[in-house]
Structure 1
């Protein structure tokens, strides 16, 4: 049986005066292709309801353990919030921002999981691994 995940993903990214708005928008859509960024008051705002491409990138670049660590560290109830580096996102790579924000700001992602649970959703997006390979939790 396939689980249907119901999530609301809100993405915000500041746009500095020295940045090209379209490049910051491209950084967002490179990771979240279904998002449609809108410029408002010095930042881009976008929403989407899936993280399939983001999950594919986590698998491709073999950073599932890092992602799981960030997601569980930032989990609060049914919400996961994390920051990503703009330059990496512009190149369709995922680089989690930790510590002080970048000079031009980071992409902030807030995921609210409606169904099933946030923990199950994390297992779906970034499954646990053994020796660097995803573990099949259903098997």
Structure 2
């Protein structure tokens, strides 16, 4: 399936943090993202969530991801936050509740094609007993 998305990623860089480590945290989850250092933050952009989707499958957190995506949906846009330390280790850990002391990675996805529902089904398919119920590329 061909899809068209714009993914914008931002993460604050605290005075006690090394900007390159924050950038690495982003690229560990979104390897195709082009990062840019700005004053007090790292920003990045990508047009693929393939690796992110692979991580969701590998970590078996598809239901959690679907909840985050649909819970934050505004029109054709999804937004969610990830923990920086987990991302640095290449692990997806959704940030819920109070933000981390050093701030979280904020991800905003604007879906152009297909519909948001179809896109979410591609990235994090529905599951039954923890296994995807639709045939996908990761089985």
SS of structure 2 residue aligned to 1:75? coil
- Whether 2:70 is the aligned partner of 1:48: answer no
Q: CA RMSD in A?
A: 1.0
What is the rounded CA distance, in whole Å, between the counterparts of 2:14 and 2:62 in structure 1?
31
Which residue is 2:55 aligned to? Answer: 57
Deviation at 1:41, TM superposition (A): 1.9
What is the rounded CA distance, in whole Å, between the counterparts of 2:9 and 2:94 in structure 1?
14
What is the rounded CA distance, in whole Å, between the counterparts of 1:10 and 1:16 in structure 2?
20
Structure 2, unpaired ranges of 5+: none
Deviation at 1:40, TM superposition (A): 0.8
Structure 1, unpaired ranges of 5+: none
Which consecutive segments of 4 or more residues in structure 1 shift more than 4 A?
A: none
SS of structure 2 residue aligned to 1:11? strand
Which residue is 2:77 aligned to? Answer: 79
What is the rounded CA distance, in whole Å, between the counterparts of 1:118 and 1:110 in structure 2?
13
**Number of aligned positions between the proteins:** 136
Normalised by the size of structure 2, how large is the TM-score?
0.95
Normalised by the size of structure 1, how large is the TM-score?
0.95
